[in-house]
Structure 1
Amino acid sequence: MFSFKTLQKNRTFKYGVPMVLLVVGGSFGLREFTQIRYDAQKIRRKLDPSLQARVSMQDQSQVLENEYEKMKEANLDEWKNIRGPRPWENSKDFQEQQRNTQR
């Protein structure tokens, strides 16, 4: 039927089959590399068992209530928005200028 020379001249066999193999093989290869990444992140995130026990015991609602109390005590009426220096400005001079205008 077909000889090897006929298959070598066929454009689909010459260009299409390697492309399909590259795409399919690449997806499997990328899956393996990304799995290594996520496994490494899991290992780094593991906490010390004593610290894990303290974190799990702490009630989340108490944490939120404590943060709310801190925010209530903060005096936001006297807060002033201060612009940072631009890249072309000398930051030392700008900081001195901001300190002098605050007084």
Structure 2
Amino acid sequence: MFNLRTLQKNKTVKYGVPMLLLVVGGSFGLREFTQIRYDAQRIKKKLDPALEAKVNIQRQPNILEEEYEKLKEVNLDEWKNIRGPRPWENSRDYQDQQRSRKNKQD
């Protein structure tokens, strides 16, 4: 029926099958390489047990009332909004200018 010469002339077999193998094989290959990346990140993230205990203590959520008490102590009436420098402005000059304005107002 079919001989080897007719299969070699067929464009689907000549171009389509290798392309399909490249796409499917590349998908599996990329999965393996990305898995190596995530495994390496997981190993780097492991902390010393003493340090991990300190980090876990700090992650405990604060009680709402405690945060409210902290905010009650802050004096918000004397707060002033100061804008940061624009990208085209020199930040050092702008900071010095803001400090001098603040000192003049005090």
- TM class, shorter-length: 0.7 to 0.9
- Structure 1 residue 95 displacement after superposition: 1.4
Distance 1:35-1:75 versus aligned 2 partners, 3 A rule: farther
TM, length-normalised to structure 1: 0.74
* 1:14 shift after superposition: 1.8
- The structure-2 alpha-carbon separation of the partners of 1:100 and 1:21, relative to structure 1 and needing over 3 Å to count, comes to same
Give the Cα–Cα distance (whole angstroms) in 1 for the partners of residues 33 and 59 of structure 2: 38
- Superposition TM-score, scaled by structure 2 size: 0.73
The alignment yields a C-alpha RMSD, in angstroms, of: 2.6
Determine what percentage of the aligned residue pairs are the same residue: 71
Aligned to 1:95: 95
Residue 89 (structure 1) shift: 1.6
- In structure 1, the gaps of 5 or more residues are none
Between Structure 1 and Structure 2, how many residues are aligned?
Answer: 101
* Separation of aligned partners in 1, 2:56 and 2:92: 46
Superposed CA deviations along residues 56-103 of structure 1, whole A, max 9, x for unmatched, are: 567824xx1397254443333433332222222222221121112223
Q: Distance in 2 between matches of 1:40 and 1:86?
A: 40
Q: Quote the offset at 1:28 in angstroms.
A: 0.7
More moved, 1-10 vs 39-48:
1-10
The residue type equivalent to 2:46 in the other structure is K
